[in-house]
């Protein structure tokens, strides 16, 4: 058993971490924080947890967290993680950060996309990008994990085999993401009118046109796989459901290939992955099939008329796009079975 | 480990049973049936189960089921359970029936509400009504369990302490149930136009006015608690969500009481129950807080102007209103921990 | 053409008034107000109105409103209408108030339910309760109309024929209301977390247990029809849809009657009503069928086992439960066709 | 007044036509057909129309339709329109066809995309593509209109100004469409399990990968504007709402331009259009703002990093994507005001 803390437990990402960790066979949850709700019992704030935890939310104090926990999850807004990480690491705690603060290796990229300088470049240099399917070996020895962004997870997993195998052209990649409302910006229980039921329900809209920050993660990770820089034209959308993130990526192929040939490449790339399910030709992923879980369901179809691969993936934005993926990172960092705490099948329908 | 079979695994009740049983620590799932989809791999029919089971759906053959399983769940339409149960029991299998066939002790009630005679009155006499909160002791030794109907579960749990303690008048009980679409009649993947997305979405409607069959279960169980026959005026409603069943029961009180006094009675009645959470005064149950779980959240408020108790409960119609409650019954029948297979917290939001 | 103003145009009730009034054949909309958004073009705040109005929201100034409009709609929170009405009436403007301030004839009732004293009892005495189906004649000569509350509209229309004809017992009436999120308290663009998409979606809950203020309207109007005071035990619910309010009322009958006999009474009571549709035996109202319109669809079924009438009605909470009903009141006050501005059929599905 | 008929009135497209036409100031609706429901009163099949029409559904008989109507709408599956059109035209009726049968000018394209030969090439040669924003002049004199497909309408309107003005490159166009369930294949009241509430709700999925037939319309119309053939890589998606179609088109620019410059081109292109609303920089279209109407809201943002224009549009798939657009075509063909029958503002929220 290891002692684990969650900073930012009152947001949806944090609440999902708690939901998974209270049943994790190797974890004792010892400390949960919320600036806004410090002093409140967690089970009062999140009534689904009634009877499942007796923890009370505390203020965010990195010293205390490091004393009470061996591993600390940070489910904080970006910029706030940068303040906690130096303290936590100095005190010997390992960190799994669900914010964006340590995802971009180049501090200049951080400045470009987050419009502020990075204040903890020393730790940034040691952070491992927390997508197990790409960085399992590095994660095994990591003490600072930058868990992937939700749109980035869906997009990178959808396209990685193409770039890793040199099958894609580097120009003309277009990615369209659709997210449920728990993920697309409604951080915690933020109350922007856009996220009111009456406004989000029966509605579709694009947002962050040409500016969404997860674009930088896609370019970093796919570029590394390709061995050359590339650009992604990415558009996120808000759709009326709670959980679910669907990615449609249109990738120009370097040469003519059949759908079956591309699928073979995918199956080989993801062979043995515990949480990626490559669908057979003719089957289609749906977000419904992964809700509540860490699975990513995906497939590819070649559009021969345009010689593009249409890569589609479905994840739960709080699952493989967030907290469950963070727990998988924890399992790798700590040497647990990757399934530990993630055994529950998706909830369907 | 016991060997368990599920007849009717292609409906939502059956699929939820499979979802719970594939992770149950003491269960080996050995046989799943579907008349409609015999021959199909279960993981193809229900893609959330991809990678979690290699079972193939088979035709319904009670002899084979009894040979392959020590306990058989029946998630069949009513009338069909009656045909399977005699064979299963003769062959020594225990049965947990999720249909309505063995719930009403008096065969005349069956005739009145289901408009056909009961063909297996011998076994009917031995069936135990499968609501652990009322019949735990009888269930422990049962070999035929009639798991409760979804509306009945929500309504009985909401009102049981009142009738058990003689606090309610027997006349004038009015119950209003609201169910998500997985429960209110969309058995399996039935395709009545009423259940189309376009028809059910953004819509509320009542159905089964004055005729819904779960009324009889409420009257049987509450009457037994009260020690006298009573009538319930029950109206079910279809509301646009997948999972969730909310019950509002208006019960005339026998004497004047405060909300706090009634709540004390509830807390005592449900003390130690693993899956009933009595909320404190001022808190309100929501279906959202129990989705995917076996919990029933409930509370009571006294309307002093009318001297009625307003009893409200929230369950997942596939959870405490169906499959999860069935698994709790299994655990009691087999002497397992009642939490076995039901550990996963509700999925929220 | 008459000049009309809308105070409180930035809430959903106000926005719906504007939507109806910009196309009303006899209305020129001259003044729209919002404290919060004064100075903003209405078409920017409500993008569905782009190109349909060039009005700009102004601060709430009753003097100016009275100068610019012959009839003023008030879509304000209660207590605020009381401040505007005396000024408006003194200046000669007629008022159609969508708030609760002038609905309860007895100022003591106001104090009981709204927990504050009524500051404009002089005008209160002259207000007409704005439900055309009950008060058409009084409305024709009214200069102050207190348009009905949403739950009250649904409940009163569902039960009025029973009480008017002495068919109901006065004790034991239980009413259950289910409302979409535009109506059940999300006034304007209020941002209570309960109304976030993530919280309201896939959720059902009761609220205002034993305390909802529309109860008083039901008792006032039904008691007047019955000629004797009565009590209603009312429970409102929030369900996940934008528009729609469904009422299920359980009314003990004074004598035994068949469903057909009761329906005959309803058909006679509502004969000639332009916006009430009494459904035939076997048909069921749905909120879906009235969205965007002023219709109330309703029917009754007798539960012979309990000798109760189950009265069900469906309205759009912003339609017959709010703004459209207000426009019908306007039409009656001004002597227009009652259909004026309300011709558009419901939007389905 | 002209006499109008609707063939296929029991599907959602047909029902929406009826909803608009029963209030159209210059139309008398004389004949409505449904093979499946012939003999049923329309107001029974579509309860929102209770009290608004006394028509009864009849079988599909083109001779009778031509006798009873001067203009006939066809809301039929493809292939069926081809059988009715020759009869209707021979008898002198004008036709507005909402099916795909007469949209593709080149019969070979029909064969490629619909995998069957076109049986009425004579009339095909005379059909006008029914998108008023591109073909208003030709429509004015047309007697056979092929009203545009829903995804095609959204995509063509989103991109037309770019291609018309030579601002786009012809290769690398990627279009992503998201449709509510009334449009994406749930023709009429079809009962494919994919369209069940329980399956479509809380779900996102792509379908028709690389094969959706509306692609051909986009290529035909945009190619004509560009003066050269082009290819579109199009992916449609099903999202959980009733009405609404959102298009995100990523178009490589021929030269570097600013968002403001491109928007100027759009504003000029759509100047005077009654139903296209070009949003200002910083504003975003939402489907919510056009529900129930014929509006198309759209805007463009230039992604300078990739030199692509991100073109986004929002329509109601039954509105500008279907029936309302068909009524606009009717108005042009008959010389009515284009707003006739389409005056009702969008219903929001």
Looking at residue C147, its pLDDT comes to 98
Q: Do A232 and A143 belong to one domain? A: no
Q: Do A242 and C196 touch (CB under 8 A)?
A: no
Helix (H/G/I), strand (E/B), else coil: B246: strand
Helix (H/G/I), strand (E/B), else coil: B104: coil
Alpha-carbon distance of A102 to A122, in angstroms, equals 11
Q: Is the dihedral of CA A6, A7, A8, A9 positive or negative?
A: positive
Backbone angles phi, psi at B168, to 5 degrees: -110, 145
CB contact D239 to B (< 8 Å) = no
C touches which chains (3+ CB pairs under 8 A)? A, B, D
Cα–Cα distance list, B307 to A44, A161, D40 (Å): 30, 67, 49
Q: Do D30 and D83 belong to one domain? A: yes
CB contact A286 to B (< 8 Å) = yes
Looking at residue A185, its pLDDT comes to 53
Q: Do C84 and C39 belong to one domain? A: yes
- Nearest residue to A33 (alpha-carbon basis) of A63, A12, A13, A7: A7
- Whether C342 maps to a domain, the answer reads no
CB contact C269 to A (< 8 Å) = no
Query: How large is the C-alpha radius of gyration of chain A?
Result: 19
Residues of chain D found within 8 Å of residue A347, distances taken between Cβ atoms: none
- Chosen for mutation from C40, C196, C202 (greatest number of chain A CBs closer than 10 Å) is C196
Long-range contacts of D21-25 (CB under 8 A, 24+ apart): D21/D327, D21/D341, D22/C345, D22/D49, D22/D52, D22/D53, D23/C343, D23/C344, D23/C345, D23/D341, D24/D327, D24/D340, D24/D341, D25/D340, D25/D341
For residue B333, the surrounding DSSP H or E stretch is helix B323-334
Q: Give the chain A residue nearest C182 (alpha carbons).
A: A198
- Nearest residue to C202 (alpha-carbon basis) of C236, C176, C241, C235: C241
Kindly report the average pLDDT of chain A as a whole number.
Answer: 96
Query: How large is the C-alpha radius of gyration of chain D?
Result: 19
Alpha-carbon distance of A113 to A125, in angstroms, equals 18
CB contact B195 to D (< 8 Å) = yes
Q: Give the chain A residue nearest B15 (alpha carbons).
A: A348
Distance from CA of D32 to the nearest CA of A (A): 30
User: CA A307 from chain center: how many Å?
Assistant: 30
* DSSP secondary structure code for residue B223 in this structure: H
Indicate if the pLDDT at residue D120 is higher than 50: yes
Structural tokens at position D157: 């309107």
- Whether D26 maps to a domain, the answer reads yes
Q: Do C23 and D344 touch (CB under 8 A)?
A: yes
Q: Do C26 and C111 belong to one domain? A: yes
Residues of chain C found within 8 Å of residue A182, distances taken between Cβ atoms: 198
CATH classification of the domain holding C209: 3.30.360.10
Q: Do B198 and C302 touch (CB under 8 A)?
A: no
Looking at residue C186, its pLDDT comes to 47
- Chosen for mutation from A185, A192, A206 (greatest number of chain D CBs closer than 10 Å) is A206
Alpha-carbon distance of C75 to C80, in angstroms, equals 9
Kindly report the average pLDDT of chain D as a whole number.
Answer: 96
In this prediction, what percent of chain D has a pLDDT beyond 90?
95
Q: Do D50 and C23 touch (CB under 8 A)?
A: no
Q: Which residues pair with C5 in a beta bridge?
A: C31, C72
Alpha-carbon distance of C174 to C192, in angstroms, equals 29
D146's torsion region: left (phi>0), alpha (psi -120 to 50) or beta?
A: beta
**Along the 349 residues of chain C, how does pLDDT read in single tens digits?**
999 999 999 999 999 999 999 999 999 999 999 999 999 999 999 999 999 999 999 999 999 999 999 999 999 999 999 999 999 999 999 999 999 999 999 999 999 999 999 999 999 999 999 999 999 999 999 999 999 999 999 999 999 999 999 999 999 999 999 999 998 654 455 577 888 999 999 999 999 999 999 999 999 999 999 999 999 999 999 999 999 999 999 999 999 999 999 999 999 999 999 999 999 999 999 999 999 999 999 999 999 999 999 999 999 999 999 999 999 999 999 999 999 999 999 999 9
Q: Which residues of B96-107 are buried (b: 16+ CB within 10 A; e: fewer)?
A: bbbbbbbbbeee
Which of A240, A246, A308 is opposite residue D233, by nearest beta carbon? A308
Q: Identify the band that residue D215 occupies on the pLDDT scale cut at 50, 70 and 90.
A: very high
Indicate if the pLDDT at residue A188 is higher than 90: no
Assess contact for B242 and C202: CB atoms under 8 A: yes
Which residue do the tokens 């599956």 mark? D77
- Whether B344 maps to a domain, the answer reads no
Distance from CA of C254 to the nearest CA of D (A): 32
Looking at residue D184, its pLDDT comes to 65
Q: Do A209 and A158 belong to one domain? A: yes
- Whether A81 maps to a domain, the answer reads yes
Alpha-carbon distance of B43 to B29, in angstroms, equals 14
Terminal alpha carbon distance of chain A? 34
Assess contact for D8 and D75: CB atoms under 8 A: yes
* DSSP secondary structure code for residue D138 in this structure: H
Q: Do B174 and C203 touch (CB under 8 A)?
A: no
Looking at residue A194, its pLDDT comes to 87
Which of A203, A250, A288 is opposite residue D244, by nearest beta carbon? A203
Alpha-carbon distance of B191 to A235, in angstroms, equals 35
- Whether D346 maps to a domain, the answer reads no
Task: Establish how many alpha carbons lie within 13 A of residue B308's alpha carbon, considering only the half-sphere containing its beta carbon.
Answer: 29
Known catalytic membership, residue A334: no
CB contact D52 to C (< 8 Å) = yes
Indicate if the pLDDT at residue A16 is higher than 70: yes
Assess contact for A254 and A171: CB atoms under 8 A: no
Q: What is the DSSP string of D185-248?
A: T--TT---GGGBHHHHTT--EE-STTT-THHHHHHHHHHHHHTS---EEEEEEE-S-SS-EEEE
- Whether C346 maps to a domain, the answer reads no
Q: Do C189 and A196 touch (CB under 8 A)?
A: yes
Cα–Cα distance list, D291 to A305, D317, D341 (Å): 34, 9, 15
User: CA D203 from chain center: how many Å?
Assistant: 25
Q: Do A49 and B288 touch (CB under 8 A)?
A: no
Assess contact for C336 and C2: CB atoms under 8 A: no
Helix (H/G/I), strand (E/B), else coil: C91: coil
Helix (H/G/I), strand (E/B), else coil: D259: helix
Assess contact for A204 and A263: CB atoms under 8 A: no
Q: Do D242 and B200 touch (CB under 8 A)?
A: no
Helix (H/G/I), strand (E/B), else coil: C20: helix
Please identify every stretch of chain B with a pLDDT value under 50, giving residue numbers as ranges: 186-188
Alpha-carbon distance of C19 to C49, in angstroms, equals 7
Q: Do D99 and D207 belong to one domain? A: no
Indicate if the pLDDT at residue A186 is higher than 50: no
Distance from CA of A192 to the nearest CA of C (A): 7
Residues of chain C found within 8 Å of residue B209, distances taken between Cβ atoms: 284, 301, 303, 310, 312
Containing domain of residue D205, as a range? 151-315
Indicate if the pLDDT at residue D186 is higher than 80: no
Which residue do the tokens 């879906």 mark? C288
Show the beta-strand stretches assigned E in chain B. 2-7, 27-33, 71-74, 94-97, 128-130, 144-147, 173-179, 205-206, 232-238, 245-252, 276-278, 296-303, 308-315
Listed by number, the residues of chain D in 214-233 with a beta carbon closer than 8 Å to a beta carbon of chain A are 231-233
Alpha-carbon distance of C300 to C309, in angstroms, equals 7
The number of C-beta contacts closer than 8 angstroms across B and C is 158
Structural tokens at position A190: 């933020």
Assess contact for C106 and C112: CB atoms under 8 A: no
Residues of chain C found within 8 Å of residue B233, distances taken between Cβ atoms: 250, 303, 305-306, 308, 310
Q: Do D205 and A244 touch (CB under 8 A)?
A: no
Indicate if the pLDDT at residue A85 is higher than 50: yes
Residues of chain B found within 8 Å of residue C222, distances taken between Cβ atoms: none
Looking at residue B194, its pLDDT comes to 87
Looking at residue C189, its pLDDT comes to 52
- Chosen for mutation from C159, C168, C174, C208 (greatest number of chain B CBs closer than 10 Å) is C174
Q: How many Cβ atoms from other residues are within 10 Å of residue B338's Cβ?
A: 18
Assess contact for B158 and B297: CB atoms under 8 A: no
Q: Where are the alpha helices (DSSP H) in chain D?
A: 12-21, 42-45, 62-68, 80-90, 107-114, 121-124, 132-140, 150-164, 197-200, 214-226, 259-269, 323-334
Q: Do B205 and C314 touch (CB under 8 A)?
A: yes
Q: Do C196 and A201 touch (CB under 8 A)?
A: no
Q: Do B176 and C172 touch (CB under 8 A)?
A: no
Count each helix (H run) and each strand (E run) in chain D, helices first: 12, 13
Average pLDDT over residues D72-95: 97
Alpha-carbon distance of D338 to D331, in angstroms, equals 5
Residues of chain C found within 8 Å of residue A197, distances taken between Cβ atoms: 181, 186, 195-197, 199-201, 240, 242
Assess contact for B290 and B348: CB atoms under 8 A: no
Q: Do A101 and A174 belong to one domain? A: no
Q: Do B200 and D195 touch (CB under 8 A)?
A: no
Give the tens place of pLDDT for each residue, B176-191: 999 999 986 544 455 7
Listed by number, the residues of chain A in 126-145 with a beta carbon closer than 8 Å to a beta carbon of chain D are none
CATH classification of the domain holding D32: 3.40.50.720
Looking at residue B183, its pLDDT comes to 86
CB contact B205 to C (< 8 Å) = yes
Q: Is the dihedral of CA A76, A80, A83, A85 positive or negative?
A: positive
CB contact C42 to D (< 8 Å) = no
Give the tens place of pLDDT for each residue, C303-315: 999 999 999 999 9
Alpha-carbon distance of C185 to C100, in angstroms, equals 13
Kindly report the average pLDDT of chain C as a whole number.
Answer: 96
Decide if the complex's ipTM is over 0.85. Answer: yes
Looking at residue A173, its pLDDT comes to 98
Looking at residue C193, its pLDDT comes to 82
Q: What is the DSSP string of C171-237?
A: S-EEEEEEE-TTTTT--TT---GGGBHHHHTT--EE-STTT-THHHHHHHHHHHHHTS---EEEEEE
Looking at residue B190, its pLDDT comes to 55
Q: Do C27 and C162 belong to one domain? A: no
Q: Do B215 and B306 belong to one domain? A: yes
Terminal alpha carbon distance of chain B? 34
Q: What is the domain count for chain C?
A: 2
Structural tokens at position A130: 């927390």
CB contact C12 to D (< 8 Å) = yes
Indicate if the pLDDT at residue D187 is higher than 70: no
Q: Angle, nearest 10°, between helix axes C323-334 and C132-140?
A: 30
- Whether D265 maps to a domain, the answer reads yes
Give the tens place of pLDDT for each residue, D193-214: 889 999 999 999 999 999 999 9
Q: Identify the band that residue D192 occupies on the pLDDT scale cut at 50, 70 and 90.
A: confident
Q: Do C167 and C292 belong to one domain? A: yes
CB contact A290 to B (< 8 Å) = yes
Distance from CA of B241 to the nearest CA of D (A): 8
Q: Do B247 and B179 belong to one domain? A: yes
Q: Identify the band that residue A316 occupies on the pLDDT scale cut at 50, 70 and 90.
A: very high
Q: How many residues does chain D have?
A: 349
C277's torsion region: left (phi>0), alpha (psi -120 to 50) or beta?
A: beta
Q: Do C182 and D291 touch (CB under 8 A)?
A: no
Q: Do D112 and D181 belong to one domain? A: no
D touches which chains (3+ CB pairs under 8 A)? A, B, C
Looking at residue D309, its pLDDT comes to 98
Q: Give the chain C residue nearest A180 (alpha carbons).
A: C198
B touches which chains (3+ CB pairs under 8 A)? A, C, D
């Amino acid at each position: 058993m290891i002692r684990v803390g969650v900073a930012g437990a009152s947001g949806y990402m944090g609440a999902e971490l708690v939901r998974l960790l209270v049943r994790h066979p190797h974890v004792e949850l010892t400390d949960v924080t919320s600036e806004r709700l410090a002093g409140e019992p967690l089970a009062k704030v999140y009534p689904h947890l009634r009877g499942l935890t007796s923890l009370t939310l505390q203020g965010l104090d990195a010293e205390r967290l490091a004393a009470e926990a061996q591993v600390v999850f940070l489910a904080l807004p970006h910029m706030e993680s940068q303040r906690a990480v130096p303290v936590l690491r100095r005190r010997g705690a390992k960190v799994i950060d669900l914010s964006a603060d340590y995802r971009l290796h180049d501090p200049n990229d951080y400045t470009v996309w987050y419009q502020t300088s990075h204040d903890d470049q020393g730790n940034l240099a040691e952070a491992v990008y927390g997508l197990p399917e790409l960085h399992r070996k590095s994660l095994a020895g990591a003490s600072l994990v930058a868990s992937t962004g939700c749109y980035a997870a869906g997009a990178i997993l959808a396209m990685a085999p193409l770039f890793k195998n040199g099958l894609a052209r580097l120009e003309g990649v277009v990615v369209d993401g659709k997210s449920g409302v728990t993920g697309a910006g409604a951080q915690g229980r933020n109350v922007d009118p856009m996220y009111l039921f009456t406004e989000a329900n029966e509605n579709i809209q694009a947002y962050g046109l040409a500016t969404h920050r997860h674009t930088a993660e896609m370019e970093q990770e796919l570029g590394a796989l390709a061995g050359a820089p590339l650009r992604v034209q990415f558009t996120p959308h808000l759709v009326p459901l709670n959980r679910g993130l669907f990615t449609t990526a249109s990738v120009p192929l370097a040469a003519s290939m059949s759908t079956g040939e591309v699928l073979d490449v995918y199956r080989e790339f993801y062979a043995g992955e515990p949480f990626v399910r490559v669908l057979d030709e003719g089957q289609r992923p749906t977000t419904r099939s992964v809700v509540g879980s860490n699975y990513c369901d995906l497939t590819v179809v070649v559009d021969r008329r345009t010689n593009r691969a249409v890569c589609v993936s479905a994840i739960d934005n709080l699952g493989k796009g967030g907290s469950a993926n963070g727990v998988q990172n924890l399992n790798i960092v700590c040497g647990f079975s990757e399934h530990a705490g993630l055994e529950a099948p998706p909830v369907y329908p």
